[in-house]
Structure 1
Amino acid sequence: MAPGSPKSGVGRIIAGRYRLLDQVGSGGMGHVWLAHDQRLDCDVALKEIRFRNLPDGGEEHESRVARARAEARHAAVLRGHPHVVTVHDVLEHEGLPWIVMEYVAGAEDLRDWLARRGPLAPAECARMGLAVLDALTAGHERGIMHRDVKPANILLAPDRTGMPGARILLTDYGISVQPDSPETRWTRTSILVGTAGYLAPERTTGGPATAAADLFSLGCTLYFGVEGFGPFDRGTDLAAITAVVLEEAPPPRRAGALWPVVEALLIKDPARRISAEDAAAALARIITPEPHPPTQVDTGSQPPWARLVTSDGAPGPGMAPPDERFGGPAQNQSTGSPARNQSSSGPAQDQGLATPAAYTPTAQAPGPYTPTAQAPGAYAPRPGQELGRSAPSAPQPGPGFGPPWYGAPPGPVTGPSGRRRRKRPRVLQALAAVLLALGLTAGGVWYAMAHKVVLPYGDTVGLAEPLRKGDCVVGDPSPGSVAGVPRLTLDPSCGNAVPDGQVMALYKAPSFEVADRQGADRCEELTKGTAEKLAWNVRSMAVVPTRQAFHATGGNVACLLVGKHGPMYGPLGKLRPYGMTFKDATQIQRGDCLGHEDGDALVYTHYQLVACDKNHVGLVIQITHLKTVASGEDADAQANDQCAADAPPEDFGRSSAVFWSHGLRSTGLWAKGYYLVVCSLEHRDKSPLPGNE
């Protein structure tokens, strides 16, 4: 990889503590990394702030470093706010400031969210705006201005249940120190004040950063949310700044009930701009519309449905337009203006943000009353999308349900006049039976699909529950003989079934994509220490959850150690309890202290794992093997001879007159032709070794 490439930083250790795992973002200030805090054993986001073409040690360089440190302290004031990305620390590494922040797993900024899913529905955008407004207000109350509210600084992330977009977070809170970016930012006396196209007009003339200026930027961002582009996006930054100052925002096509609020946020004069309190109230009304007034019947020539009022306050035909709201002009629905034509966006604009469905009554056509099914909400979820909405309950049998003859008693049916009604033709009854059968069949299919068991690692692996640290598994076929992950079953006893491997660690991945891409490498890293100490050749195996089950498993990749050429016989590494009896030498590792059952002679398969600060029989000093075994000779004697050659006591500061290197062979592997030998340093007279010697 070429020097200086963003990905070339993977693996670097920052400030002796943070290991860079993957680049997850890049912007005007530098790069954002997923990093692992080796001290606290958790993942964090690390923002690398770069000063291009700025010499180290200069006054401007030192000023910017100091400013980054001060801004991080300001952002830390809002630590714990539900809609603000938490800043943990700011540090300096190799002359550059780094910001240590909360890592939000599975997050996408608003730009990427819209690029993948299309514009938001007005109610969903209002929910997002309310969350961002809450974060801004918390800062404003403490005298902290964000100064750079824009789509790139709003994150949409899943909540604990995995609901996409349920968490809304404002990031880069006040950490605005570097203007050098393809996305030009505008400064005054080297102080960053905003981004072209989202900058309040009063800031372009050098006015101070105020709460009202942040609200203007929020209005631009909400406009972007429903339209997919900013109200003042232009071909150049200068043109965008000019539009902010001199032009009005073009009427949107999809804003619906949100437009009056956005319009009030985009008022040029900050003194007339809507307040945060009024904006919050207006956004809340869009999310949860107020109850509709009863239908007003005009005794004149107007039909009863002419004065229905929609949820966004739009008048029905013949109704006078409402007064101006929030400083914006009243709109005429008959002209098709987006300000009142909420249905113009249609279902195609609906996204995966969890929000209540908006109720929009529909006017009825003149004529006799005809019952019709209620139309779906204007922003019903797209097929397959996960929205935080409950599906409508299916109608239940009862009065008025089904055809007129549904549930009718046998015999003649008479009307109010007592005249006998004509029986329905049998063909209609047969048709009703067929429709009922089809409905029951469809319901059964739906029930089966809704209650389908989702296996956490897919059908191939077959496990019904997520793996936990310490679980022992048996593979079919043996994991050591295949490249991928075979079908696995649990061995609850971790020994009786002669397990092929054990879960040594869990790697909590921030997203399925990262788990799929980095799971194998991270598992190898997490199990390397144990693997190097074990007597037997093992390999790391990453069991990655499926995309559908990723959040249900907590995002954990199970990191196994499996034998390359055979089973492991029981617990491994630090998961072995003191007092356990080794069933085979494959469980033994370098540095183990060995004991044996009271009353038993020194039998190879009856050694126990004991604490090294207590008296013990032997200390494992070497792992070796024989290339061949001479037939007709004692196998144990050959193991002892191999240890005497490969691990003589003198190599470990002991006299061979007092100590010997006892060879413990793996009986299970010897039967398969793998001549593994563990060398244990012991007293020749079989007296115990003192603890901590």
Structure 2
Amino acid sequence: MGRKIGSRYTANQILGRGSAGTVWLGEGPEGPVAIKLLREDLASDQELVGRFVQERTALLGLEHPNIVSVRDLVVDGNDLALVMDLVRGTDLRTRLDRDRRLAPEAAVAIVADVADGLAAAHAAGVVHRDVKPENVLLDMQGPLGPGGAHPALLTDFGVAKLIDTPRRTRATKIIGTPDYLAPEIVEGLPPRAAVDIYALATVLYELLAGFTPFGGGHPGAVLRRHVTETVAPLPGIPDELWQLIVQCLAKAPASRLRASELGARLRELLPLIAGMPPLDVDEPDVEPAEEAEEAPAAVRAGEPARRRGAVPLVPGAKPADSNRDTHTSMRVPGPDELAGGARGTARVPRAAGAPRPGSARHRAVTRRRRIALGAGAVALVAAVGVGTWWATSGDGAGATPQDPKHSAPVSP
């Protein structure tokens, strides 16, 4: 028996769960739809409901081949729902979980699709604010593009803005997913279109490398890396592509490309990377000591270290099924906290096959190196001793130390 959503829709089957609600396969007057039903505690927030209704016109007006269109917004009792086009496929996070990283051609094609969708949204005055692999859907029924990539569509427009009400977050709070947050959001500035470009460049880096450039460890440490560290180079990709990523990860929002420029530039690079295999790099590790030092005191107090920022959106709520499909709500770190660590390059990727620091293999390699160094030192000392004895005792043919032909001064 389906669940009625308003007077026109029926939710029949759960497709997935996220930090803000549950996505259902539903049925409407025009056929199958996807229904994102926001959590009850959000639906009971009258301020949020009012904001939801205000955003209706802008969200319904977003029409683009690379955007999952919102067909309707439903406010009915305790139900608050977005009714969207149904995409027959999977999300980009599921693809990454399966393949770990993509070939550069497919990664660039997918990100170019998303950039085109963002360009349309930004032109309409809408900022997504939560661009990440969970919010990119791959249409498995669409035509294959470069590198065998399925068409990519960006979904969940408006959800971050709806949730980010003044009463819920105030000016001292951050709402977002730590790995993809632009530095200006961490510093408490209002989000503009450039935050989507920064997040999308982070997604591109992740598709190529298998990990995000500033992620890993406590969410507070991740936030500070966005502000204080530059991105570590990815070996094996053309310099033109790397410079594009660096520009879109610039700390200054004005230095980043616009979405339309990014999409066009990425498509120009497709012939250059055609046929390239996925990169062969490993994710760098964060040492516990480094984490303790990097996490701002305000965000690490009383909190255990977490991987990838698996923090519920609302206190008391359960984390989402995917620990990356989540928002973090925390205090904005102060300038002294953001400037408290060493500035430099973010954690550099390890060469493929290199042991992880702290692993049994790493300890064994370190032990062998120490033994080798110790043996070398012993050999050097022995060689010095033999040389000194030889210099002071002669050549063994009856010469004496006083013989000027066979003696040498020895430094005290």
**TM-score normalized by the length of structure 2:** 0.60
Q: Which residue number corresponds to residue 141 of structure 1? A: 123
- Name the amino acid aligned to 1:345: L
Q: How do residues 463-542 of structure 1 correspond to structure 2 at under 5 angstroms?
A: none
| Contact 2:74-2:80 at 8 Å conserved across structures | yes
Q: Are 1:33 and 2:15 counterparts?
A: no
SS across alignment from 2:118: helix
- Name the amino acid aligned to 2:67: V
* Offset of residue 208 of structure 1: 2.0
1-structure distance, mates of 2:179, 2:269: 26
SS across alignment from 1:124: helix
SS across alignment from 1:84: coil
Q: Are 1:12 and 2:3 counterparts?
A: yes
| Contact 1:122-1:256 at 8 Å conserved across structures | no
Structure 1 residues 157 and 343, CA gap change in structure 2 (3 angstroms): closer
- Name the amino acid aligned to 2:192: T
Q: Are 1:50 and 2:39 counterparts?
A: yes
* Offset of residue 252 of structure 1: 2.6
- Name the amino acid aligned to 1:212: A
Q: Which residue number corresponds to residue 234 of structure 1? A: 216
Q: Which residue number corresponds to residue 234 of structure 2? A: 252
SS across alignment from 2:179: coil
- Name the amino acid aligned to 1:33: W
2-structure distance, mates of 1:138, 1:214: 13
Q: Are 1:102 and 2:85 counterparts?
A: yes
Structure 1 residues 19 and 51, CA gap change in structure 2 (3 angstroms): closer
SS across alignment from 1:229: coil
- Name the amino acid aligned to 1:197: D
* Offset of residue 55 of structure 1: 9.1
Structure 1 residues 193 and 43, CA gap change in structure 2 (3 angstroms): same
1-structure distance, mates of 2:150, 2:179: 27
SS across alignment from 2:98: helix
1-structure distance, mates of 2:39, 2:231: 34
Q: Any unmatched runs of 5+ in structure 1?
A: 1-9, 181-185, 290-310, 313-341, 347-693
Q: How do residues 508-657 of structure 1 correspond to structure 2 at under 5 angstroms?
A: none
- Name the amino acid aligned to 2:48: R
Deviation by residue 1:468-525 (Cα, 9 ceiling, x = unmatched): xxxxxxxxxxxxxxxxxxxxxxxxxxxxxxxxxxxxxxxxxxxxxxxxxxxxxxxxxx
| Residue of 157, 161, 166 corresponding to 1:173 | 157
* Offset of residue 47 of structure 1: 0.6
SS across alignment from 1:288: helix
Q: Which residue number corresponds to residue 12 of structure 2? A: 21
1-structure distance, mates of 2:266, 2:113: 10
1-structure distance, mates of 2:237, 2:93: 17
Q: Which residue number corresponds to residue 93 of structure 1? A: 76
How many equivalent residue pairs?
273
1-structure distance, mates of 2:78, 2:207: 38
1-structure distance, mates of 2:172, 2:49: 13
Q: Are 1:262 and 2:245 counterparts?
A: yes
Structure 1 residues 165 and 17, CA gap change in structure 2 (3 angstroms): farther
Name the one with the larger helix percent: 2
Q: Which residue number corresponds to residue 225 of structure 2? A: 243
2-structure distance, mates of 1:198, 1:271: 18
* Offset of residue 91 of structure 1: 0.8
Q: Are 1:67 and 2:51 counterparts?
A: yes
SS across alignment from 2:233: coil
* Offset of residue 219 of structure 1: 0.7
| Residue of 332, 336, 345 corresponding to 2:279 | 345
**TM-score normalized by the length of structure 1:** 0.37
1-structure distance, mates of 2:50, 2:13: 27
SS across alignment from 1:74: helix
- Aligned-residue sequence identity (percent) comes to 34
SS across alignment from 2:153: strand
Q: Are 1:127 and 2:109 counterparts?
A: yes
2-structure distance, mates of 1:187, 1:287: 41
| Contact 1:50-1:178 at 8 Å conserved across structures | no
* Offset of residue 249 of structure 1: 2.2
Q: Which residue number corresponds to residue 505 of structure 1? A: none
Structure 1 residues 160 and 143, CA gap change in structure 2 (3 angstroms): closer
Q: Are 1:204 and 2:186 counterparts?
A: yes
SS across alignment from 1:31: strand
Structure 1 residues 204 and 187, CA gap change in structure 2 (3 angstroms): farther
* Offset of residue 83 of structure 1: 0.2
Structure 1 residues 188 and 165, CA gap change in structure 2 (3 angstroms): farther
Structure 1 residues 109 and 253, CA gap change in structure 2 (3 angstroms): farther
* Offset of residue 276 of structure 1: 3.6
Structure 1 residues 69 and 173, CA gap change in structure 2 (3 angstroms): same
- Name the amino acid aligned to 2:163: Q
2-structure distance, mates of 1:266, 1:112: 24
Structure whose alpha-carbon radius of gyration is higher: 1
